Structure 1
Amino acid sequence: MPSAADGLARVDAWFVEQGWTPAPFQRRAWAAFRQGRSGLIHSPTGSGKSLAAWLGPVSRALESDDGQAGLRVLWITPLRALAADTAENLRAALDGVGLDWKVETRTGDTGAAARARQRRRLPEALITTPESLSLLLSYKQAADRFRHLNAVIVDEWHELLGSKRGVQLELCLAWLRARRPGLPVWGLSATLGNLDEALAVLLGPHADAGERIAGDSAKTLTVRGLCPERLDRFPWAGHLGLSQLQPVIDYLEQGRSALLFTNTRSQAELWFEALAKNKLEWITEIGLHHGSIDRPLRQKLEQGLREGAFRCVVCTSSLDLGVDFSPVDRVVQVGSPKGVARLMQRAGRSGHRPGADSEILCVPSHAFELVEIAAARRAWAAGRVEARRPLTLCLDVLVQHLVTLAVGDGFEPGAALAEARATHAFAALTDEQFQWCLDFITRGGPVLEHYPQFQRVVEEGGRYRVTDQGLARRHRMSVGTITSDYQMRVKFLRGPGLGTIEESFIARLKPGDTFLFSGRALELVKVRDMIAYVRAAKGRRSLVPRWQGGRLPLSTELADTVLEILEEVAGGDYRDPEVQAIRSILEIQLDQSALPSRHRLLIERSRSREGTHLFLFPFAGRLAHEGLAALLAWRLGQRLPATFSISVNDYGLELLTASALPALTDADWRALLSPERLVEDVLAALNASELARRRFRDIARISGLVFQGYPGKGKTGKQLQASSGLLYDTLDRYDPGHRLLDQARREVLESQLELGRLRAVLERVADQTLCLTEPERFTPLAFPLWVERLRNRLSTESWRDRVARMTERLEKHADRRAGGG
């Protein structure tokens, strides 16, 4: 009989063969798993977390493998794109230590034959997503497939935490624990600000016995801002980016390989096109990678990265996580990262191996982003990293999970309730709420009980099942919680598919219009059955799709550090090189008005031919500012006969009225910015019913109230909105207390308008000094808000011409003030 040390000895021997030495944190993780513990391993990208988790169960299996087939380790990944890379890495370790396990993937990309084979018999190690794991629970004898399961590993846990996908996984883990008591569950996370909470959510009622294992040392990270030689003193968002193309090319030429990250797919398309046009000799050595490009094209590029075939790949968050390839020499971030964790995740793609240093060059898309870059470096050094807050009581996800179990072997309500309450998400679930869920899936509730399609589950002898196989097939096709603007396939008229674009963008085009996608200029030929057919376009200016996922708000940690820097600047301290680079801009802001800080809210009042402009700069992020702007406009409208136009960005907001507006005192502003009656006034200020109706579309899909359609026959976004909108209106009229309606309203406030952050802003204002100024012209902080409103209202040519004229006037005014004129 092998000794208990034999498995680890084999692991050590393999490390020696590779020229590696196990890190202390890896040894701690192996020992903890072998003791039957669960926990969270957190360490920077590229430090060896995967092997820290994987080799615990592998070392144990080397000693005690009973030779029986069956699933032993379940590996959960947030992105199906990561599954193949993860499988390759796990197989390499198995080959190295000599363990004869099969490693397979099961995701939306897995073929029908492989899925059918896995339903009969799972491999020893399965890499899957939360959605595919949920689907496995929907087949008969699901519990039998997991009877040998010894470990669950959740990769990139921070990417699931705080989302409905994380809630879905919590429910699946509770189901597994109920059938495998004491099942070890381990999460892997890189950068996260609420590690204790992350551990508690992952382990549920067993969190107290969980173990947090940190990497042994913080990675050395260099964050540099690209400071342009010349900056406009009145900057606006997006103006600066591509003007710095040549310095970026110079930086890329210093290395052999690079990743150039952008925050949006639109930016990625533009930067890829610019590099291709300016470096024709690189044409076969540059690539484009984002989530809307067809999977085969992305796989081809990922393989090229592994083989070192690319000098530069322009990408979005699609390459943030785990896709494994040789470390790149250069990482470039275009635009502010908007969050500390995001910047560090991307920076870690350089030097992506234990002990290696990382560097990232940040390219501002407008001048003030240089301050954000300096703030990100400071926040990282101080350990201020964003938290991901978990969700609770998402009844649409619970309803879907219950129907999933009913489609499989069925469930007993007492056991299902206990499993739900064993999660963080539903620990506070009441008997009444659970009974409502049962009533919803069996009858459709009091309003929909007369429609057979809503009576999905039947109760037989105390067990709840789905007996209609047609309903079962429809449900399996709808499992999952990922929602977005509805997607339309893009395909050459005669040729392969290219990827997906949001339906709302294609709806604005007519045949003959051109757009930039997948690195190509394309002409729209026709739209049929949710497919946009295209051909290569020649010589015309192309539109760039704008995806809804591109609106990243400035994080609280980064915003507070920016305010800290501006406070120093007001005292004459320009210590950061990026801040020094925009000194002239900051000095104009100080000369004409003031700078905001953590202790001072800046409010500017200006006059123009358009009317009276009110600018506020809370630095609370775009989403919170949208809610605050609507709130202030409504509260002002209760006092004065005026209507307002609104503009927001991450730094502040603008309210414009053509009406004569009297000057507001400090006391007036205190009342307008009071947190009292916040929810009531926000709901009154916004078309909350329409916002909730649109939110309800996703909730209705997740809960099974509407069906998205069969493959190739999917409903359009308009059809789904109409279906869910009709349901919303019906329920709102006849069952106004419907729990999914309440959830839609709550999600609008909490997620879409960041009510919690808005409340925190107003509570902070109560302790701040209000700095009321009346500059003669728009200041450098106010000007981008004016441009943003103009851009949303006028055509490209019109607003660019007006911006140019206004910039010229402001520059002349600044010169006169500087000269004392």
Structure 2
Amino acid sequence: MRARQQVVSWFEQKDWKPFRFQRQAWNAYLDGQSGLIHATTGTGKTYAAWMGAIIEALAERSQTPPIATSETKVKKRTSTRRKTGPRLRVLWLTPLRALAADTLNALQAPVQDLGLPWTIETRTSDTSASTRARQRKTLPTALITTPESLSLQLTHADAADQFSDLRLVIVDEWHELLSTKRGVQTELGLARLRRWHPNLRTWGLSATLGNIDQAMRYLLGGDGNENSCPDSVPVSSVGGHGVLIEGARRKRFVVDSMIPKSIERFPWAGHMGMRQADAVVKQLDHVQSSLVFTNTRSQTEAWYQEILKRRPEWAGQVALHHGSLDRKTRSWVEDGLREGKLKCVVCTSSLDLGVDFSPVERVFQVGSPKGVARLLQRAGRSGHAPGQNSCVTCIPTHALQLIELAAARDAISQRSLEGRQPVACPLDLLAQHAVTIAVGGGFRPDDLFDEVRQTKSYQSLTRQEWNWVLEFITTGGEALRAYPDYSKVRIDDEGLYRVDDRRISLRHRLSVGTIVSDASLTVQFLKGPKLGTIEESFLSKINPGDQFIFAGRQVELVFVRDSKVWVRRAKKLGNVRIPRWMGGRMPLSSQLATAVRQKLDEAANDEFLGPEMLALKPLLRIQEKWSYIPRLGELLIERTKSRQGHHLFFYPFAGRLVHEGLAALVAYRLSRQVPITFTISVNDYGFELFSPTRALLDQVITTQLFRTEGVVEDIEACMNAAEMGKRQFREVAHIAGLVFPGYPGNRKSAHQLQASTGLLYDVFTNYDPDNLLLKQAQQEVLELQLEQTRLMSTLHALQSSLVILRDIPRFSPLGFPLMVDRLRQRISSEKLSDRIRRMQESLEKAAGPV
């Protein structure tokens, strides 16, 4: 009891009071339970998970000495960072490097104030080589690290000894990991730790998640039967071996929109909302500290420049933050936010998660957040303390996004949050993990099979698949057994699978992980610091002397040498480019898409609720007058003819990725009726099929276009499935260890890696067509690039929808942005903007005054 009171007293010294859910988490931990804490951002999840271990340590001290005096505390705070303490007891896993430093500060405060002789450190890719070398000998009492670093720890033969005193694993931001291979990597690491410690307590922290029960099952593994607790009360629910604790829901989110003074009735996407920059800067004038979120790194660079262009006197008070910046730059920005020295930081998802920047008063979201949970997560960066409101202002980049912003606010009020679907049985990662354990001392096949099947992701793993993985890591498989480089693991005389070759061990450690991106090169001044990294694909499009903007600076390319891009400050300002990074297009989530349909249904019934919908009333009036506003349960198809040809517009409102597959499928099925060629464009609301001749739509629309039979076969026939599979195979091959990206400072180029994986893909296709990695790549194409599950659900919905076919004399407000997206594929940006302006003027003239 005294230990608990010490912790409560520490809260009181901070003018805090422990929430009920925090006390429940401490009690559950002390009772030997594992579970998941689901609480709104900024309500105290960190201390809910952490203080149970602190109470346990305080209680274990024999004849616990009194709490350190203030004089003693000062001495502790000013002592050297590294001190002798108990061996590793707590492992804290975090998905982002930016979270590690912030978490370290939060965890250290009660440890120091309560006089515990614990050491707490971080270990990420940003950790110095000297610190990593020291940690190889002795781990701190609490280690904050990433899933990749945990896997690296498991490659050492003494890993079991290093983790011998481990009692608790905390997985932060579990919702962020759940639907990725990094989440599966976490599951595999936890399974190994539980093998050594069957009573290991595991706690996850999560916010803004719809499928919280499933999330807990995947975190805890095994065969637990967890139950969620009622939404109305923040109490815990104990299942077979899991406790789900709902946090106090006192957090209030204030969501508003920055509505433009004039609304384009024929909007188009692509200009990144810069017309709103003046209004944004005026709002920033009245805020002490703020975050401006964008959806891509390119937008971050562009908005940073726009803000400084309008307020040059803010130089030094405005910064930018994204994952490609140099570590020192990112750390400087994070420290500046914590200390309240920065007025504004333009950022991407690199600051999405639970980083505590208490001075931040307000958050701005540029463009649609594309998901309800993502908007809540970003809003939570402001008012990041119990009892404070989180405020976010959304900045539409084109008029139709106002519907999404109004829909997002409705979904938040109804707590309709997206779930994150786990990844099922990725064999590329399983092969990597098996080599990891083989490097770390070896394994027996039956033992590791049983261990791996304790994870939810591999619960369906068959003996046949496991035997295939064993064959793959020992011989390279059917097609590669003649090449020694692919025989990584050997079987010793006792039947133990081991890696004895030091070269193989080194290369494997350098390749551990699931994050695969385009090859990147370091950008560095000729005389000055590193700026960060850019992808090789962008670099291939520029020449020495060309200028580009990166890390908020306008630089000139001098030369590329030794895997580095050497630049200097641009003296003569001219035409500049902004680097493009892969993976910038996020589709509309299913929850937000449903909410958008609801807002349109209201508008069709002449209900324009909220400022966003009122602002869109003139646009939607034109849509209704010239075409139709689709209601719930309806599919609108528009048909029109222009001087260029014939246009078909479909509006399923299912998100960009689904529409890419659906457009190709519909085009293919139409072309099988009468030979015809289509050009396709898509966005989150629908897709356009453009053709030189009129498509015979009426005859087949009700029976053929949306049937679910033969969907996979038709998609493979109508899309370049082989090329898409080959691209996806690059990631699979990298994770499985089929290709080696190179040593630090001597990384292979993107062209070299593409050539290697392309050759392997062709070899497997021709000589080992049943290769399971090939099949995995093909399945990932369908699920990741086309969202097959959601595509099938959309087809089922369309089969029962009432089809509204409208022949219209000209482009409607919903169809105009789709037509522009198609034009963008073949017209330069300068000519495109001029042409769009002329078309808008013509349509506005036809529409008449507002």
Q: TM-score range by the shorter chain?
A: over 0.9
- Equivalent position amino acid for 2:505 in 1: A
Which position in structure 2 is the counterpart of 1:147? 164
Match of 2:814 among 772, 776, 781: 781
* Pairing partner for 1:107 from 124, 129, 133: 124
User: Partners of 1:814 and 1:522 in 2: how far apart?
Assistant: 46
Per-residue deviation at 1:206?
5.2
Describe how 1:473-484 pairs up with structure 2 within 5 A.
473-484=506-517
Structure 2 partner of 1:567: 601
Q: Pick from 565, 575, 578: which aligns with 1:532?
A: 565
1:449 aligns with 2:472: no
**Aligned mates of 1:691, 1:815 — CA distance in 2:** 46
Structure 1 residues 541 and 657: alpha-carbon distance in aligned structure 2, compared to 1, 3 A threshold: same
Report the Cα distance in structure 1 between the residues aligned to 2:273 and 2:189, rounded to whole angstroms.
44
Deviation at 1:302, TM superposition (A): 0.9
Separation in 2 of the partners of 1:797 and 1:318? 32
CA distance in 2, matches of 1:235, 1:344: 27
Name which of 588, 597, 602 aligns with 2:636: 602
Tell me how far apart the structure 1 counterparts of residues 578 and 626 of structure 2 sit (CA, whole Å): 37
Once residues 85 and 11 of structure 2 are traced to their aligned partners in structure 1, the CA distance between those partners, rounded to angstroms, is 28
Choose from 715, 719, 732 the match for 1:682: 715
The whole-number CA distance in structure 2 between the counterparts of 1:44 and 1:805 is 48
Partner of 1:739: 772
- Give TM-score scaled by structure 2 length: 0.94
Amino acid at match of 2:207: A
2:277 is equivalent to residue 245 of structure 1: yes
**Is contact 1:192-1:341 (8 Å) kept?**
yes
RMSD: 1.4
Deviation at 1:598, TM superposition (A): 2.6
Contact conserved, 1:142 with 1:409, CA < 8 A, in 2?
no
Change (3 A) 1:68 1:245: closer
Q: Hey, what does 1:772 align to over in structure 2?
A: 805
Moved more, 806-815 or 562-571: 806-815
1:696 to 724, 729, 735: 729
Tell me how far 1:797 sits from its aligned partner: 1.4
1:288–1:519 Cα contact (<8 Å) kept: yes
Partner residue in 2 for 1:521: 554
Aligned partner of 1:368 in structure 2 is 400
Contact map agreement 2:358 2:382 (CA 8 A) in 1: no
1:541-560 CA-partner distances (Å, limit 9, x unpaired): 31122221211100000010
Which residue number in structure 1 is paired with residue 232 of structure 2?
A: none
Give the equivalent residue in structure 1 for 2:30: 34
Q: How does 1:299-314 map to 2 (within 5 A)?
A: 299-314=331-346
1:626 aligns with 2:660: yes
Given candidates 558, 562, 585, the residue that maps to 1:551 is 585
CA-CA distance at 1:526 after TM superposition? 2.0
* TM-score under structure 1 length normalisation: 0.97
- Distance in 1 (CA, whole Å) between partners of 2:468 and 2:118 is 45
Instruction: Give unpaired runs (5+ residues) of structure 1.
Output: none
Structure 2 residues not aligned, in runs of 5+ = 63-83, 226-240
The answer to whether residue 601 in structure 2 is matched with residue 584 in structure 1 is: no
* Counterpart AA for 1:135: L
Alpha-carbon distance between aligned partners in 2 of 1:240 and 1:322, rounded to the nearest angstrom = 27
Which residue is equivalent to 1:202? 219
1:354 aligns with 2:391: no
1:430-483, CA deviations, whole angstroms, 9 ceiling, x for partnerless residues? 111111111110011111011000000001111110010010000000000011
1-structure distance, mates of 2:272, 2:348: 19
User: Aligned partners of 2:766 and 2:505: how far apart in 1?
Assistant: 30
Say if 2:357 and 2:381, in contact at 8 Å, map to a contact too: no
| C-alpha contact (below 8 Å) 1:560/1:598 kept by paired residues | no
* Structure 1 residue 736: Cα displacement: 0.1
Does residue 511 of the first structure (1) align with residue 528 of the second (2)?
no
Contact 1:375–1:558 (Cα < 8 Å) also in 2: yes
3-state SS, counterpart of residue 74 of structure 1: strand
Name the SS for the 1:40 alignment partner. Answer: strand
Change beyond 3 A, Cα 1:240–1:204: closer
Q: CA contact under 8 A between 2:250 and 2:387: conserved in structure 1?
A: no
Q: Which amino acid aligns with 1:495?
A: G
| Aligned partners of 1:41 and 1:186 also within 8 Å | yes
Matches within 5 A, 1:24-63: 24-63=20-59
1:14 has 2:14 as partner: no
Contact 1:240 1:367 in 2 (8 A): no
Contact 1:252-1:330 at 8 Å conserved across structures: no
Contact 1:44-1:215 within 8 A present in 2 as well = yes
Displacement of 1:69 in angstroms is 2.9
Question: Aligned letter for 1:87?
Answer: L
Tell me the SS of whatever aligns to 2:407.
Answer: helix
- Give the corresponding residue for 1:289: 321
Distance 1:264 1:56, change over 3 A: same
Alpha-carbon distance between aligned partners in 1 of 2:125 and 2:219, rounded to the nearest angstrom: 24
* Aligned-residue offset at 1:216: 1.5
Q: 1:137 aligns with which of 125, 150, 154?
A: 154
Q: Contact conserved, 1:156 with 1:189, CA < 8 A, in 2?
A: yes
Matched AA of 2:834: D
The superposition leaves residues 635-660 of structure 1 with CA deviations (integer Å, 9 ceiling, x where unpaired) of 12211221111111111111111124
What's the counterpart of residue 65 of structure 2?
Answer: none
Distance 1:68 1:20 in 2: 28
Which residue is 2:695 aligned to?
661
Alignment-mate amino acid for residue 459 of structure 1: I
Segments ≥4 residues shifted beyond 4 Å: 65-68
8 Å CA contact 1:443, 1:454 repeated in 2: yes
Q: CA deviation at 1:767?
A: 1.2
Bigger shift: residues 633-642 or 688-697: 633-642
Label 1:263 to 1:233 Cα distance change in 2 as closer, same or farther (>3 A): same
8 Å Cα contact 2:441/2:498 also seen in 1? yes
Instruction: Please give the alpha-carbon distance, in whole angstroms, between the structure 2 residues aligned to 1:239 and 1:405.
Output: 49
Task: Pick the aligned partner of 1:345 from 356, 369, 377.
Answer: 377
1:491 is matched with 524
Q: Are the equivalent residues in 1 in contact too, given 2:86–2:117 (CA < 8 A)? A: no
**Change beyond 3 A, Cα 1:307–1:801:** same
Cα deviation for residue 33 of structure 1 reads 0.2
Task: Give 1:759's aligned residue.
Answer: 792
Comparing 483-492 and 743-752, the one that deviates more: 483-492
Mapped contact 1:327–1:349 kept (Cα < 8 A): no
